[in-house]
Amino acid sequence: MDDSGLAVVAVGFSVFALVVVVALAVRVGRLLRAYDGLVAGDQGDVAFSTAVGRQTAEAQTLRHDVEQLRAQVQAAAGDLSDAVRHVAVVRYDAFGDMGGMMSFSAALLDDGGNGLVLTSINGRSETRTYAKGVQAGTSEHPLSPEELEAVEQATRGASHRVRPA
């Protein structure tokens, strides 16, 4: 092989080496950007193990916060089960000679069907109001048909109904 052939081979190897160097430079650039994303927020040069340790500590803190929030939500759900959340009102005419549906029975219950029924019976010259305790949807005092209807509506989610005369 003469000198010109050797020069052509040397130029070919040089071009090949240049392509390899450019490809490696691109890969190193990508790795550096990924590393910078990992250590984002840290000042100066940070070792990879330090960045991973910081990320792990932050993840553990977040897990702890989520567990605390889960416990708080469960406590709030327990508190809400005792709150009056089921309300129903049944309006009716208690006396045939009066109109306007001025009498009513209102059931105010929690999730367990516990609470009370308020009944107001309106007449021409007087109004009487009764309150009866309710435990698990029943009462130790006899409930009128309107009161039973109000309790039933409250337990199935109805909120207001006018009963025809």
Q: What is the pLDDT of residues 40-84, one digit of tens each?
A: 665 656 677 787 788 899 999 999 999 999 999 999 888 887 888
E strands, the chain, in order: 86-92, 103-109, 115-122, 127-134, 160-162
- List the one residue out of 43, 120, 151, 85 whose CA is nearest residue 51: 43
Token digits for 149? 């209807």
* Domain-ending residue, one of 56, 80, 104: 80
- Choice between 38 and 144, residue whose per-residue pLDDT is larger: 144
Q: What is the mean pLDDT of the chain?
A: 86
Tell me what pLDDT residue 135 has. 93
- For the chain, how many structural domains are there in total? 2
Say whether both 27 and 96 belong to one domain. Answer: no
Q: So what's the pLDDT on residue 45?
A: 64
Distant-in-sequence, close-in-space partners of 111: CB < 8 Å, separation ≥ 6: 80, 81, 82, 85, 86
Which pLDDT value is given to residue 89?
94
Q: Which long-range contacts (CB under 8 A, 24 or more apart) does 77-83 make?
A: 80/111, 81/110, 81/111, 81/112, 82/110, 82/111, 82/112, 83/110
Residue 93: domain span: 86-162
Quote the CA–CA distance of 110 and 112 in Å, as a whole number: 5
SS3 assignment, position 118: strand
Say yes or no: 131 and 157 in one domain. Answer: yes
